[in-house]
């Protein structure tokens, strides 16, 4: 059964996990003779046959460059590319699809804002506020801008339970705050950030707000009309789409006021030997031949998610995460980091196994067919706050099951015995 629906069609399909799993060919794989249990979704999600087929169809039937030709293939490619933009915009509640800028990923989207907005509108002494739980991609660009322009970078600290210190946030966000750049959900801990508290704090001081939605947009309903932010960045590969395609949504007034990120073809209005003028948004930020096929593939992924309904996706992940928190807590030697209430976190559970380095845990789990992520998760400040070098991280998505959580728990128990830690 094909899962397709446009975001505004109102069509919904029952959340049937058995049928959903049939759409993901890679889940049929075996690793070392045992069924694959894929629990590394915070790093990248798997792709359904509908997305794979759409990529194949584009290259087989329509492949041509866009915006530059009058022949049939070019017109078809342009229509597919811009159609994907419109559906992705509708998926996040954008009122104007031109506010959707295609990038490579969340990292590029944040860097685009740092370069095209930050360099133009931030001055020495202006304050940019981030948090201690950010991914490196929402720290490093601002550190680079600090070193270049003399802005002041401030961090909202993390509490021991993995949530943010909101009292400190109220102290840090103030009249000098020009930008609040904040994740909606920690990739390292799964902590869901109370944007409904922090965004109004920043707006009360006239600050601009950028939300890193890399972990939130794939897993829960996001509507930029009510979010209150000025920019939203996210990646296609974490939400069933291809790699190499990301999105920056921005308010049109801000995008219009920003300078281009890169210069070249398709982002210009006119070029002569003395000067150039820029195309309208979003073309102003999409220099050169874009990632046409993968933008179209992301459109197919959005159709898939829309057919399921993001509220259903979130409901399923809460159930899986709640089960995982309880199941793993019963495994001897396991310590879980972050909030213990599944309602406060996304489908991410970071943990350590007493006496065993996370890298070794990950390698042994792989022999049991269980794929998790180990390391600092591009969130070294989080690791420093936890006083650990790294964690093991299991992350869930719409196709994961409680039986796969059981497989993870059993593999962890086997890992303890393998290293002779179980007595």
227 near 89, Cβ under 8 Å? no
Are residues 319 and 279 both part of a single domain?
A: no
Are residues 152 and 298 both part of a single domain?
A: yes
Mean per-residue pLDDT, 4-11: 44
Q: Do the domain assignments include residue 101?
A: yes
Q: Do the domain assignments include residue 367?
A: yes
Task: Report the catalytic residues.
Answer: 378
Are residues 232 and 146 both part of a single domain?
A: yes
User: pLDDT band at residue 7, thresholds of 50, 70 and 90?
Assistant: very low
Are residues 151 and 192 both part of a single domain?
A: yes
353 φ, ψ (degrees, to nearest 5): -110, 120
Nearest to 181 by CA among 124, 222, 143: 143
Are residues 299 and 393 both part of a single domain?
A: no
Q: pLDDT tens digit string along 122-157?
A: 999 999 999 999 999 999 999 999 999 999 999 999
**Whole-number Å distance between alpha carbons of 156 and 154:** 7
Q: pLDDT tens digit string along 246-264?
A: 999 999 999 999 999 999 9
User: pLDDT band at residue 231, thresholds of 50, 70 and 90?
Assistant: very high
Q: Do the domain assignments include residue 290?
A: yes
State yes or no: pLDDT of 268 exceeds 90.
no
Cα distances from 107 to residues 82, 114, 311, in angstroms, run 22, 11, 26
Show the domain range for 186: 53-307
Mean per-residue pLDDT, 97-116: 98
Are residues 218 and 364 both part of a single domain?
A: no
Q: Which of 273, 307, 341 is the last residue of a domain?
A: 307
Q: pLDDT tens digit string along 71-94?
A: 999 999 999 999 999 999 999 999
Which residues are CB-neighbours of 141 under 8 A, at least 6 positions away? Answer: 110, 111, 114, 115, 118
**Whole-number Å distance between alpha carbons of 147 and 395:** 35
Are residues 197 and 327 both part of a single domain?
A: no
Are residues 133 and 166 both part of a single domain?
A: yes
User: pLDDT band at residue 214, thresholds of 50, 70 and 90?
Assistant: very high
Structure tokens at 248: 């920056």
State yes or no: pLDDT of 283 exceeds 50.
yes
Q: Do the domain assignments include residue 237?
A: yes
Q: What is the CATH number of the domain that holds 149?
A: 3.40.640.10
Give me the pLDDT at residue 8, please.
42
Q: Which of 307, 328, 345 is the last residue of a domain?
A: 307
- Cα of 230 vs its chain's centroid, Å: 17
Q: Do the domain assignments include residue 10?
A: no
Residue spans of alpha helices (H) in 33-71 = 49-57
Give me the pLDDT at residue 3, please.
39
Give me the pLDDT at residue 417, please.
95
Q: What is the CATH number of the domain that holds 331?
A: 3.90.1150.10
- 14 vs 48, residue with greater confidence: 48
Q: Which of 307, 323, 341 is the last residue of a domain?
A: 307
User: pLDDT band at residue 12, thresholds of 50, 70 and 90?
Assistant: low
Give the count of domains, the chain.
2
Are residues 158 and 249 both part of a single domain?
A: yes
Q: Do the domain assignments include residue 181?
A: yes
Cα distances from 67 to residues 174, 244, 267, 283, in angstroms, run 44, 20, 11, 10
Are residues 102 and 121 both part of a single domain?
A: yes
Q: pLDDT tens digit string along 303-324?
A: 999 999 999 999 999 999 999 9
Which residues are CB-neighbours of 204 under 8 A, at least 6 positions away? Answer: none
Residue spans of alpha helices (H) in 128-251 = 140-149, 166-172, 195-204, 224-227
Q: pLDDT tens digit string along 321-352?
A: 999 999 999 999 999 999 999 999 999 999 99
Give me the pLDDT at residue 6, please.
39
Give me the pLDDT at residue 9, please.
43
Q: Do the domain assignments include residue 2?
A: no
Give me the pLDDT at residue 99, please.
98
Q: pLDDT tens digit string along 191-207?
A: 999 999 999 999 999 99
Q: Do the domain assignments include residue 11?
A: no
Are residues 303 and 317 both part of a single domain?
A: no
Q: pLDDT tens digit string along 19-62?
A: 999 999 999 999 999 999 999 999 999 999 999 999 999 999 99
- Rounded mean pLDDT of the chain? 95
Are residues 35 and 75 both part of a single domain?
A: no
State yes or no: pLDDT of 102 exceeds 60.
yes
Q: Would you call 291 exposed, middle or buried from its count of C-beta atoms within 10 A (0-12, 13-18, 19+)? A: buried
Residues facing 209 on adjacent strands: 180
User: pLDDT band at residue 69, thresholds of 50, 70 and 90?
Assistant: confident
């Amino acid at each position: 059964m094909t899962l397709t629906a446009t975001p505004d069609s109102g069509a919904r399909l029952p959340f049937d996990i058995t049928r959903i799993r049939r759409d993901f060919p890679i889940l049929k794989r075996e690793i070392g003779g045992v069924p694959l249990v894929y629990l590394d979704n915070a790093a990248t999600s798997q792709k359904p046959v509908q997305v794979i087929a759409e990529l194949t169809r584009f290259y087989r039937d329509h492949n041509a460059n866009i915006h530059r030709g009058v022949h049939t293939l070019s017109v078809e490619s342009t229509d597919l590319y811009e159609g994907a933009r419109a559906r992705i915009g509708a998926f996040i509640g954008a009122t104007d699809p031109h506010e959707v800028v295609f990038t490579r990923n969340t990292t590029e989207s944040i860097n685009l804002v740092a370069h095209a907005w930050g360099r133009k509108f931030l001055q020495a002494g202006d304050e940019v506020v981030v948090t201690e739980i950010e991914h490196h991609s929402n720290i490093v660009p601002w550190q680079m801008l600090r070193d270049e322009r003399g802005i002041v970078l401030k961090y909202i600290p993390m509490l021991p339970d993995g949530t943010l210190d909101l009292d400190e946030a109220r102290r840090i966000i103030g009249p000098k705050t020009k930008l609040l750049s904040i994740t909606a959900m920690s990739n390292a801990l799964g902590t869901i950030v109370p944007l409904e508290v922090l965004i109004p704090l920043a707006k009360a001081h006239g600050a601009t707000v950028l939300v890193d939605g890399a972990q939130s947009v794939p897993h829960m309903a996001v509507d930029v009309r009510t979010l209150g932010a000025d920019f939203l960045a996210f990646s296609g590969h974490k939400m069933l789409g291809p790699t190499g395609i990301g999105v920056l949504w921005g308010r049109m007034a801000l995008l219009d006021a920003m300078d281009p990120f890169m210069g070249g073809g398709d982002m210009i209005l006119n070029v002569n030997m003395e000067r150039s003028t820029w195309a309208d948004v979003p073309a102003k930020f999409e220099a050169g031949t874009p990632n046409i096929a993968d933008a179209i593939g992301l459109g197919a992924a959005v159709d898939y998610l829309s057919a399921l309904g993001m509220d259903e996706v979130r409901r399923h992940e809460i159930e899986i995460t709640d089960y995982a928190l309880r199941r793993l807590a019963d495994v001897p030697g396991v310590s879980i980091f972050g909030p213990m209430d599944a309602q406060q976190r996304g489908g991410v559970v970071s943990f350590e196994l007493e006496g065993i380095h996370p890298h070794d845990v990950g390698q042994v789990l792989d022999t049991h067919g269980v794929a998790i992520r180990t390391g600092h998760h591009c969130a070294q400040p989080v690791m420093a706050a936890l006083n650990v070098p790294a964690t093991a991280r299991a992350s869930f998505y719409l196709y994961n099951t409680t039986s796969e959580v059981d497989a993870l728990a059993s593999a962890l128990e086997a890992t303890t015995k393998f290293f002779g830690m179980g007595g």
